[in-house]
Amino acid sequence: MGNTFGHLFRVTTFGESHGPAVGAVIDGCPPLLSLEEQDLQKELDRRRPGQSSLTSQRREADRAEILSGVFEGRTLGTPIAVLVRNTDAKPQDYEEVRRAYRPSHADYTYQSKYGIRAWIGGGRASARETVGRVAAGAIAQKLLREHCGTQVLSYVTQVQSIKAKIDHRKIDRASVERTPIRCPDPQAAKEMIEQIDAARKDGDSLGGVVESVVRRVPPGLGEPVFDKLEADLAKALLSLPACKGFEIGSGFSGTLMTGSSHNDPFYSSDGRIHTRTNHSGGIQGGISNGETIIIRAAFKPTATILKEQETVDISGNPTTIKARGRHDPCVLPRAVPLVDAMVALVITDHFLLQSVTSHNGRGDKTYE
């Protein structure tokens, strides 16, 4: 239960943080999509630990192995199984977690739900579970590019109180990848890196915000009323480890506006309908309107820190705990490819749903 995501493009992830391997099974990918392991590896390399001092120093190559669903470089339309082996697990770093619960982590809640927990590394609650999501997201991103030219681009806009100045219309993947924090504002990126390094040296952690834009989105994606496009996007992002908030378009700042200033006026150009502003964030009534989708995800400071903290042991007795091991002082740099993946999975799923079910009013299918 709860390990499968999607309606038609369905992804099931498996594996624990310090088990033999992690991965995913992707069901519903159309046949004849060109696909090889390197397509997945590009995204997995962006997610893997040990990239800089800003991330966990766990050393994992995260090499993707495609076990099924691909033949002679093309998808078969059958389930695609992807395996990534764990090679740098250090269970000895988690002896304290065996006896006590880490504050704001999933140790206590997993124990309460299942009566057992994989205390080495956090098991399924570890961000290592997202390896499978990123592999699946790489397939989704390729499908979107080749079938409808849609691009998903995510980047860091805020770390703690430092906010970047970014015009999303002018950035590309290269500008995002230019710094290890994945913020396309060079000055803000420099300040963010300095602040994260200071927190790391102090044994602490920081949180922040990732923004994602989806360009060239076909109008008509979304399944009201309970499977609205923004509802599925919110679920996708809030399912990520450490994600605590979601906004679309104007978000909470829209509460400070009037209806007359918030509404997005329509106009027609080149045979298409557009909006002059985009406070709606590309979605109206739960359905994409063809404008750029703009969403934001808030990530809390990493729960596992290297300071001594008050807690209780597994019998409920007061104690303290000081985590050891290798952890991210800020999840933001590695959260960017996670957001890319989950957004792409949602858009791909709704694109396939629309391809199957929707007609454009003239009786023919909107998409091929």
What's the pLDDT tens digit per position in 27-52? 999 999 999 999 999 999 999 876 76
- CA 85 vs CA 61, 132, 155, 299, 342: distances in Å: 9, 11, 28, 27, 22
CB 39 within 8 A of CB 139: yes
Q: What pLDDT score does 88 carry?
A: 80
The kind and range of the H/E element at 348 are helix 332-357
CB 110 within 8 A of CB 123: yes
What's the pLDDT tens digit per position in 323-332? 776 678 999 9
Give the chain's mean pLDDT.
Answer: 93
CB 86 within 8 A of CB 60: yes
294 contact partners, CB below 8 Å, separation of at least 6: 168, 211, 212, 213, 248, 249, 278, 281, 282
The kind and range of the H/E element at 295 are strand 293-299
Q: What pLDDT score does 326 carry?
A: 67
List 298's β-bridge partners, or say none.
209, 245
Helix (H, G, I), strand (E, B) or coil at 294: strand
Per domain, the residue ranges of the chain are 4-357
Return the residue matching tokens 């996708």: 236
Binned at pLDDT 50, 70 and 90, residue 364 comes out as very low
What's the pLDDT tens digit per position in 128-184? 999 999 999 999 999 999 999 999 999 999 999 999 999 999 999 999 999 999 999
CA 208 to mean position of chain CA atoms:
14
- Of the candidates 203, 212, 354, 202, the residue with the CA atom closest to the CA atom of residue 288: 354
Tell how strand 243-248 and strand 293-299 pair up: antiparallel
Tokens of 349: 């799923």
Question: What distance in Å separates the CA atoms of residue 36 and residue 19, rounded to the nearest whole number?
Answer: 25
What's the pLDDT tens digit per position in 224-263? 999 999 999 999 999 999 999 999 999 999 999 999 999 9
Binned at pLDDT 50, 70 and 90, residue 58 comes out as low
What CATH homologous superfamily does 4-357 map to? Chorismate synthase AroC (3.60.150.10)
DSSP characters for 3-71?
-EE-SSSEEEEEE-TTSSEEEEEEE-PPTT-B--HHHHHHHHHHHSS-SSTTS--------EEEEESEE
Return the residue matching tokens 């269970």: 91
Helices 130-148 and 37-47: crossing angle, nearest 10°? 130
Q: What is the DSSP letter of 366?
A: S
Tokens of 86: 């764990």
Tokens of 70: 């691909």
DSSP characters for 78-122?
SPEEEEEE-----GGGGHHHHHBPPTTSSHHHHHHHHS---TTTT
